[in-house]
Amino acid sequence: MTTSSKLEQRHWPRVRLSCLVRARPSQPTVEEFDEVLDTVNSCRSGCYFATDSACYKKHMRLFVTFPYSVVLGAINRDYIGEVVRVDDLPDGRVGVAVNFLTTIGLTIQNHFSTLGSDTSTWS
């Protein structure tokens, strides 16, 4: 009988879904960062992304906006996440696996453009 050398710990299946995610530290760090990155894969309880930054450490707590969009009316969901794995990738970047611990809330992008005072051309 053979046993797997690595125990599968996922509760939800991964999906190779590339979407934007915003990551920033939830606690003060030596190097502050605020990155918007593409995910490599994701599931209901976390995501995995690649970055050029060496700031991510295992057990680090993050504020994660997933999915992230700046489009007018976009609904962004904010989470508190924990870095569960940091991988050195062959291309020199770093792979970061994040587990979502809790939802903070939803934010809606509502940037209003400045309209001219002459509205007579509106129909």
What are the pLDDT tens digits along the chain (123 aa)?
A: 444 445 555 555 667 778 999 999 998 877 889 999 999 999 888 999 999 999 999 999 999 999 999 898 888 999 999 999 999 999 999 999 999 999 886 777 665 444 444 444 443
Q: What pLDDT score does 97 carry?
A: 97
Ranges of each domain in the chain: 20-108
> What dihedral angle (degrees, nearest 10) is formed by the CA atoms of 48, 54, 55, 58?
60
To the question of pTM greater than 0.85 for the whole model, the response is no
Q: What HEC string does 50-110 produce?
A: EECCCCCCCCCEEEEECCCCCCCCCEEEEEEEEEEEEEECCCCCEEEEEEEEEEEEEEECC
CATH of 20-108, one of 2.70.98.90, 3.30.565.10, 3.60.21.10, 2.30.110.10: 2.30.110.10
